Chain A
């Protein structure tokens, strides 16, 4: 079984986001970038499946600017066998990403495609489902547990009401929740080894996909700020304030 894992380069989850003064976006210059956190879970799961002898190859793919190569390289350092970088410039929407991934899937013919359930930059939560639709494959979104049984996947999904279990045939798409596993850190020897692993570079235009944005971003603003609150010195004062000032209890 071959697993393709899609990884996205995003502003690190610990960075305090700042909106650009001209309201065209958020500040990305000199800001720490990392792998989208649930994409780390996707790579980890694929590598674990390979280590358990149930997959033969793990391929990491990223779509984005030249520097997204670092994100692919990090996936290689934690166990992916080789990488693919599809180079694009500017904003690329989930629909375009899923069309590019479709082309990669047609070329690579993986049995499974894993990715994070949501990217923490645009918070869209679309790409996996869109790719499943384009390929007409089953989708298991928000996965917190994956079991391989007789060539099928039993996936536990985190839903608003609790947990749901579904069984899907292969080939399939799985989008991963942060609770799926504990991503490992890359060891120094593995980081060195990853430098020798191949990364194939393509341009989005080579794949014959129209990636022109369909959504115009008119402006990006700071959200309204909450007015500063106060510290209370005791529980009695807190209850009194909630009762008589905020009038919520």
Chain B
């Protein structure tokens, strides 16, 4: 038995969730190899080889791998899969897009978004937006598993020195063409891994009012989240959405401002260690998961919050 981890990267660096996925892979079996597919991705391949959990790195290079098109990636991994019992990746948009294409080609029933490895063939996964947990056992010979990154700790990122083997690239899938990627660059912590997240909802009433969320996030060195309602209304871009169909976050502190707390939003944040809710509707469902609830008008409470924070001598970073 051995596990093939699909590394996520941007050709220069590993994406942070590759470390969480490595941890999950190592809990299935200690013999973890990692495949990195990209273009001019030597630096990222080297970083991968330094993860102590990884026993071998397989690097596949070609110009048509530069933009991570699933149609190009899948055949390579299907070919490599011969030698492995498990194929593992993160259940983020990278892994969600790619893994089912591999699983179908291998005639394997994929297990998505696991939060715990119970045995090499048995996993725990949330269903119905996290309102139920299912224990599932795969009967397939080869298992394709995506893991919820926030449910596994990141592994050590240095100290290893796995050998890097090159494998031949496959042909380009000519019917899909990458055009562009619009990434929102920010100096803030990443939403998926931030220690503190401040989120705004429909109660913000406008994109302009999101400045209040930004100020609070600046003060707390936090990432900015949002409910689907706020993204749909155009207050903020989609990469901030927390919830069943957005991102799942598990920060030490989650501050929900003007968010009512639909079950679809709770699905993305209710595992946070400490939850604060600020909402003027005392009956809002968000209060049912909040450790500290403040029933107040956010337009008064948030500026006061900033003032109180200013009075503190230190704020944890």
A213 to B304, CA, bound (A): 56
Q: Given A223-B133, A232-B292 in contact, is the A162-B237 Cβ separation under 8 Å?
A: yes
| Residues in chain B near residue A137, CB distance under 8 A | 175
A238 to B103, CA, bound (A): 48
Q: Does A249 contact B (CB under 8 A)?
A: yes
Give how many A-B residue pairs fall within 8 Å (CB-CB).
263
- Establish whether residues A138 and B71, one from each chain, have CB atoms under 8 Å apart when the complex forms: yes
Q: Given A126-B110, A215-B137 in contact, is the A221-B308 Cβ separation under 8 Å?
A: no
- Establish whether residues A95 and B296, one from each chain, have CB atoms under 8 Å apart when the complex forms: no
Which listed residue (A26, A167, A177, A238) contacts B276, Cβ 8 A? A238
| Residues in chain A near residue B100, CB distance under 8 A | 94, 125-130, 133
User: How many chain B residues have a CB neighbour from A under 8 Å?
Assistant: 91
Q: Does A195 contact B (CB under 8 A)?
A: no
Q: Does A107 contact B (CB under 8 A)?
A: no
Nearest CB of chain A from residue B301's CB, rounded to whole Å:
6
- Establish whether residues A215 and B109, one from each chain, have CB atoms under 8 Å apart when the complex forms: yes
Main secondary structure of the interface of B (DSSP, over half): mixed
- Establish whether residues A178 and B228, one from each chain, have CB atoms under 8 Å apart when the complex forms: yes
- Establish whether residues B238 and A162, one from each chain, have CB atoms under 8 Å apart when the complex forms: yes
Q: Does B74 contact A (CB under 8 A)?
A: yes
Q: Given A216-B139, A218-B122 in contact, is the A123-B244 Cβ separation under 8 Å?
A: yes
Interface hit among B24-32, B88-96, B152-160, B164-172: B88-96
Q: Does B12 contact A (CB under 8 A)?
A: no
A165 to B238, CA, bound (A): 14
Q: Does A57 contact B (CB under 8 A)?
A: no
Chain A contact residues, CB within 8 Å of chain B: 11, 13, 16-17, 19, 26, 38, 93-96, 98, 117-118, 120-134, 137-139, 141-142, 144, 154, 157-169, 172, 177-179, 213-223, 226, 229-232, 234-236, 238-239, 241-243, 246, 248-249
Q: List 21 A-B contacts (CB under 8 A).
A: A17-B131, A124-B110, A125-B96, A130-B101, A133-B74, A133-B105, A138-B71, A141-B97, A162-B238, A165-B179, A165-B182, A178-B245, A214-B108, A216-B137, A216-B139, A219-B134, A229-B289, A238-B276, A239-B308, A246-B292, A249-B315
Chain B contact residues, CB within 8 Å of chain A: 69-71, 74, 91-94, 96-105, 107-113, 122, 126-140, 173, 175-184, 192, 196, 220, 228, 231-232, 237-239, 244-245, 247, 252-253, 263-264, 270, 273-276, 282, 287, 289-296, 301, 304-305, 308-309, 312, 315-316
